[in-house]
Structure 1
């Protein structure tokens, strides 16, 4: 069984730099800068000086109008894609990496109504049944007027509630929306990204070689320990894009390329720094911080009883699915939880051995003595 899984992973997974993906990630990072700095503070991470320089350079080079447009399309929540989901969909439905310029030219040929429909999906993917009111999404997404009526009647999740008004504007004026986002993409590429793209590619490809080596040496361990995922998830052709701008993260995106299902992983360039071994004191600080937020404590107590899937946790704790992902990432950092697939769903499992080990380390650090249990 282990050999079969190893062969499947080696067959399905490859590493490749997708410039178009890094381009769009970088735009989201600039628009959501305050959110990301807050997340870095929560996780006790320091933003890479080069990434901060990119942020500073972008803010200096963008006109006030371009920055407002960047906010319009990207600002709502970096962890819950909204209007910007349309751009990810356009990039990730192509199975091969693209340059940013090639993707921009390809997007130019895509009908405005199709892109706007993907914006609707991005805002409402976790409330799609409520939005559709019994209608078929494959039919609804072809009818801009019907989508506008449904969007007007349905509030999005709280994480992206502010995207509802702009989305209605896009639905009312799809062709004008296309002119706006094409101008923004071209302008951002010309004024900002093109000046950095060779450096970013070099950083990513160097890290990609290192990660690919770790993956080839032990595919299952790499997926479980550094990608923080269940190996069985990767039963389709998957490309790992090592992202400088993501810094730390494991975002898996599934799409269809024609009739074939494929996946892209936006994989943080510094994942091994966070998911590798940490000093006892550092582990203790993060462990105590994990319980400073009642929702994370409730998260763990929920899993103590039995494994839960994401929507179950969201409902039980009264939070959004994006918030579940946010808190789960924090707990992944400490190896307190893991994902396993059962009946076509991914369930979060509490790792009791890791919890006991962290309690032991905390006792040792706080009391300067060996714990009374092993």
Structure 2
């Protein structure tokens, strides 16, 4: 396994990816702050300064356009998936300017089709109505009919009308998103890009040391997935602006799979060792919501994949991700791939340890 990981995993800073992440962060600032409060995290002061500076520099029109393409849900890519797809379908990192020039050459119809996939990826069976995606995606008229007939997940319901608008006017949509991206680059990102690269590359040196010292442990403890997932070449982008988290983006180019991981610069603060009191506070916070207790009880029976949990819990797949993050932060979950699906596994030993820690803290007992 060590040899597999050393062969398939590399680290590289992708400026284009960092810019598109930063656009989403500005659009979803309210959601980001709410998540940070829920997880008892403080955002990096430099990241907050960027948020405030960008919002002050961007025009009201640019901010409205940013909302149109990026605002819908922090944990569920929507219209913005098209931009991630165009970046992550390449194995080599790009500068922001290189990517902007490349996107200009990409057909408007292709980008709009990827917006559809971004909104409906977790309900494709319902969306396609028995048809094949490869057939449907080349027919904008049919795509429009399917979008009209299919209500998105609740967290993306507000993306429905904008998506139909993009499908009806792909060339105008391209003019809009190209102008938005160029303005964001000129008025906000270009002023910060060198600092973001510096912060991310410094952190990357540390994470590469962790990885090379013990690849399996790094993937299990900091990336929170089963190491066997990395049976295809994958590049880790250490992201300053995303702060914390692991977001996997795998693209099938038709000839090969290409995979990128957006890895938060401060993952070691959350996924590394924590003080007992902090663990206890988060542990109690995690189970203040009945659905997270039900989540654990379901996994106690057997591992489940995301859509399966969503159906049993009566929530959306994005909500499953939201609740799972509490449990990931406590090391209670592991992700393992089985039968082409990613399954959540409960770490029983960690659960026992946290229950014991909570007992000691609550009763004031010594070790």
TM-score by shorter chain over 0.5: yes
Q: 1:340 — aligned with what?
A: 336
Match of residue 184, structure 2, among 172, 182, 188: 188
In the alignment, the residues of structure 2 paired with residue 65 and residue 288 of structure 1 have an alpha-carbon distance, to the nearest angstrom, of 43
Shift, 1:328, TM fit: 1.0
Distance in 2 separating the partners of 1:127 and 1:302: 22
Instruction: Quote the offset at 1:325 in angstroms.
Output: 1.2
| Distance in structure 1 (CA, Å) of the matches to 2:32 and 2:3 | 37
* 1:24-62 CA distance string (max 9 Å, x none): 000000000000100000110000000000000111011
For 1:226-305, list aligned pairs within 5 A.
226-305=222-301
What is the CA distance between 1:349 and its match in structure 2? 1.2
Please list every run of 5 or more consecutive structure 2 residues that lacks an aligned counterpart in the other structure: none
Aligned to 1:148: 144
Match of 2:3 among 4, 7, 21: 7
**Where does residue 225 of structure 1 map in the other structure?**
221
Farther-moved stretch of structure 1 (183-192 vs 319-328): 319-328
> Cα RMSD over matched residues?
0.9
Count how many residue pairs are aligned between Structure 1 and Structure 2.
367
User: What is the correspondence of 1:186-225 to structure 2 with a 5 Å cutoff?
Assistant: 186-225=182-221
8 Å CA contact retained: 2:28, 2:73: yes
- Secondary structure of 1:347's match? strand
Task: Give the deviation of 1:93 after TM superposition.
Answer: 0.2
TM-score normalised per structure 1: 0.97
Shift of 1:298: 0.8
Distance 1:81 1:324 in 2: 15
Alpha-carbon deviation of 1:232? 0.7
Aligned to 1:57: 53
| 1:363–1:370 CA contact under 8 A, matched in 2 | no
1:124 aligns with 2:120: yes
Q: CA deviation at 1:345?
A: 2.1
Task: Identify the residue that residue 160 of structure 1 maps to in structure 2.
Answer: 156
Deviations along 1:152-211, whole A, 9 cap, x unmatched? 110011111110000000001000000000000000000000000001000000000100
Matches of 1:106 and 1:64, distance apart in 2: 27
Paired position in structure 2 for 1:320: 316
Q: What are the ranges of 5 or more consecutive residues in structure 1 without an aligned counterpart? A: none
Classify 1:370/1:312 alpha carbon distance in 2 versus 1 (closer, same or farther; 3 Å): farther
Contact 1:70 1:184 in 2 (8 A): yes
